[in-house]
Structure 1
Amino acid sequence: MLRVGIIGTGSIAAAHAEAYERFPDECRIVALYDVVEEKAQRRRDELGLDDATAWADLDAMLAEADLDLVSIASPPSSHAELAIRALQAGVNVIVEKPMAPSLEDCDRMIAAAEQSGRILSVVAQNRFRDDMATLKEVLDSGLAGPVSHVQVSSAWWRGLPYYDLWWRGTWESEGGGCTLNHAIHHLDLTLWMLGSPKFVTAVLTNAAHENAEVEDLSVAILQYDRALAEITSSVVHHGEEQAIVVHGRDARVSQPWKVTASKSSANGFPEAGGDPELEARIDALAASHVPLAHQGHSGQIGDVLAAVRDGRAPAIDGHAGRRAVELVTAIYESGIEGRTVALPLDPADPYYRTGTLVSRAPRFYQKTASAGELPGEIIVGGSAEPRTA
């Protein structure tokens, strides 16, 4: 029975607790840490974690609670420090997205995992969704042909009070805006399905949140060998209609699910009726997808529990988390500096280092509120949405 702790008891901690509780024969939550002990106690009571102890001293918890695994569910700027302390204490770690605000911090976390011999996994729970797994299986089959164009809409909507929470809305504490903290889900999915691009060109703005320093909208173009992908990252889209649309040479496939296959007539124009045979083959492949036993956070946490138990690497490790942060970093560098950025980023690049983004990023507006907590639950909208805080 693995002993589990949760570090940080804000809203997303509940998703981790609910996921662990789906594996009652494999793990037990025994510790909750927060800098405000009363908050950890309140979260323990809300979640009915009667066997868990609330802690306000992290080093004491790591030394005394006999933990096998911790979830880190704290603000992004604290991820590196907390993960490294846990790994150095000999505890396996799964850390919420984003892995860290800088590549330098990501590499420090990876090094700590390698030195300790412990597991480091970064939350990318949307790889554990039947719809996204189906889309990847179809793309991997090659039925759609070589990819030519991808449209990713990471469309969210957040009202002004969202950025009143103390750690949101500044480059220093949140690490960025919607690109880092919302679209990183879709960026990770793009990397998972297509691999890393060669070049990134992007623009950033704050279109609707005058109480936050950070961007609430960005548009990026990713250049592959021959394909292009356009990524819209947003918290200004009413209705949160999210989508991933992939156009291959032979067919278009997308989530929400749609298949269209055009067929050329003798003069190159599309033939009436398209290619129903290919569409049927793709639909049949999609229908053959074996449903995942657990989805979302539960799917990933189940994989991490199995990895700890079996002594293997997790499906999503620190290197995968780093690749998503690298892509976000390239988007920010391109948008701030006004130029195309080549990947991979070199450690000599100023944006690799911790602090460069804080010093160079534009302050679109001044953050005007700093609430310790916000009322209500996390609400998830849209038809193909990942869960995010």
Structure 2
Amino acid sequence: MTRKLGIAVIGLGPASLPHSKSLLDLAGRAEVRWAVSRTPDRAKAYAQQFPFPTTTDLDAVLADPTVDAAIVLTPPSSHLDVSALCLEAGKHVLVEKPLELTSERGQRLVDTARRTGKTFGVTLQHRFRPASLRLKAALDSGELGSVEAAFLTVPWWRPQSYYDEPGRGTLARDGGGVLLTQAIHSLDLFRSLVGVSKVVAAQARTTAIHRMETEDYVSALLETGNGAPATLVTTTAAYPGYPERIEITGTKGFASLIGGRLRLAFLDGREEVVEAEGSTGSGANIMDFPHDAHRAVIADFLDAIEQGRDPAVSGEEALASQRLVDEILQAARRTA
């Protein structure tokens, strides 16, 4: 039998919940050797929820030869430093989104992963939802024909109490606002489906609804990979929060992906629906979603290690989505 891969979960904040639930599901393939937090109280609280050994000693974890890979769930501002330590210690790394605070730091992280030769992936789990996979297949196979127009909207909600937490909505901790922190999932999925070849124009602002450093509203006119027009609207000021939506007009049909539910309507009269697995965290409860897609991300990461390939969402893929965020915000600054 192949030995189970030893996993260290680093960072035990809210993002650790779906990852840890997923690792319980994948116990036949991977074993959590350590769950790491720099805060003893957080490690203690985590140990009451999950049956994994906890520690505050990251150096000891990195020196543990039974740890093959690390899942890094620390704040974005620490992704480069923590992930680089893991990679240099010979561990494969799966890091939470966004890749880093800036594309420059993200590039450094990707370069470190390539230099060390370790498997490196990023948690952008919306690509792994069943409806997303079906839509991707419909586009790749030509079932929908050529893309003639596309639309992305993320009408989410975050209360002021969310941004009152230390560092939330700041450049120093999060690297950006709605586009990089919340809408990055949908933007990454959108880019993987239709491509984005050009940012035509954009607007970004902080509404009067929130007190925060970064933006809570962004809109943009884009061109898809084949030059078709596309529109983007994202916000965390749409109370009480609604599912994100991707709509694609093709020469052979129309696709509507709302949250995790897909409806395909073909010009020949056929229709197809893929139902959602659950909510998508669009409202005040940021963890209000099933962990199925996280489990799929981790399973793909384990497959990539075993097969010696890149994960489906590699560092380069995540970096391309982050660079698109940069382009949109740069265009917004030009028109401000």
TM-score by length of 2: 0.87
**Residue 253 in 1 paired to residue 243 in 2?**
no
Structure 1 residue 37: Cα displacement = 2.6
Q: How does 1:165-204 map to 2 (within 5 A)?
A: 165-204=165-204
Q: How does 1:47-86 map to 2 (within 5 A)?
A: 47-49=50-52, 52-55=53-56, 57-64=57-64, 66-86=66-86
Distance 1:211 1:36, change over 3 A: same
Q: How does 1:344-363 map to 2 (within 5 A)?
A: none
The whole-number CA distance in structure 2 between the counterparts of 1:153 and 1:199 is: 16
Conservation of the 8 A alpha-carbon contact between 1:84 and 1:112: yes
Conservation of the 8 A alpha-carbon contact between 1:200 and 1:330: no
The whole-number CA distance in structure 1 between the counterparts of 2:65 and 2:201 is: 47
Conservation of the 8 A alpha-carbon contact between 1:101 and 1:325: no
Conservation of the 8 A alpha-carbon contact between 1:130 and 1:295: no
Conservation of the 8 A alpha-carbon contact between 2:144 and 2:250: yes
Structure 2 counterpart of 1:227: 228
Structure 2 counterpart of 1:12: 15
* SS in structure 2 at match of 1:279: coil
Which of the residues 312, 319, 342 maps onto 2:316?
319
Structure 1 residue 62: Cα displacement = 0.8
The whole-number CA distance in structure 2 between the counterparts of 1:65 and 1:209 is: 50
Structure 1 residue 208: Cα displacement = 4.1
Structure 2 counterpart of 1:298: 295
Structure 1 residue 65: Cα displacement = 6.1
Structure 1 residue 10: Cα displacement = 0.4
The whole-number CA distance in structure 2 between the counterparts of 1:154 and 1:78 is: 27
Comparing 63-72 with 6-15, greater Cα deviation is found at 63-72
How many residue pairs were aligned?
312
Comparing 117-126 with 225-234, greater Cα deviation is found at 225-234
Structure 1 residue 247: Cα displacement = 0.8
* SS in structure 2 at match of 1:11: coil
Structure 1 counterpart of 2:37: 34
Distance 1:168 1:209, change over 3 A: farther
Identity in percent: 30
Gaps of 5+ in 2: 275-290
Amino acid corresponding to residue 48 of structure 2 in structure 1: D
Structure 2 counterpart of 1:150: 150
**Residue 44 in 1 paired to residue 41 in 2?**
no
> Once the two structures are superposed, what CA deviation does each residue of 1:76-135 show, in whole Å capped at 9, x if it has no partner?
111111111111111000000111121211111111111111011011111111111111
Conservation of the 8 A alpha-carbon contact between 2:199 and 2:328: no
Structure 1 residue 167: Cα displacement = 2.2
The whole-number CA distance in structure 1 between the counterparts of 2:109 and 2:219 is: 29
> Once the two structures are superposed, what CA deviation does each residue of 1:357-385 show, in whole Å capped at 9, x if it has no partner?
xxxxxxxxxxxxxxxxxxxxxxxxxxxxx
- Over the aligned positions, Cα root-mean-square deviation in angstroms equals 1.9
**Residue 336 in 1 paired to residue 326 in 2?**
no
* SS in structure 2 at match of 1:47: coil
Amino acid corresponding to residue 55 of structure 2 in structure 1: A
Structure 1 residue 318: Cα displacement = 0.6
Structure 2 counterpart of 1:279: 269
* SS in structure 2 at match of 1:157: coil
Structure 1 residue 148: Cα displacement = 1.6
Conservation of the 8 A alpha-carbon contact between 1:135 and 1:254: no
Which of the residues 282, 305, 310 maps onto 1:308?
305
Structure 1 counterpart of 2:246: 244
Amino acid corresponding to residue 16 of structure 1 in structure 2: H
The whole-number CA distance in structure 2 between the counterparts of 1:40 and 1:259 is: 45
Conservation of the 8 A alpha-carbon contact between 2:196 and 2:223: no
Conservation of the 8 A alpha-carbon contact between 1:75 and 1:167: no
The whole-number CA distance in structure 2 between the counterparts of 1:44 and 1:331 is: 41
Amino acid corresponding to residue 196 of structure 1 in structure 2: V
Conservation of the 8 A alpha-carbon contact between 1:223 and 1:229: yes
* SS in structure 2 at match of 1:199: strand
Amino acid corresponding to residue 298 of structure 1 in structure 2: R
Structure 1 residue 39: Cα displacement = 1.3
TM-score by length of 1: 0.76
The higher radius of gyration belongs to 1
Structure 2 counterpart of 1:366: none
Conservation of the 8 A alpha-carbon contact between 1:208 and 1:236: no
Gaps of 5+ in 1: 262-274, 288-293, 340-389
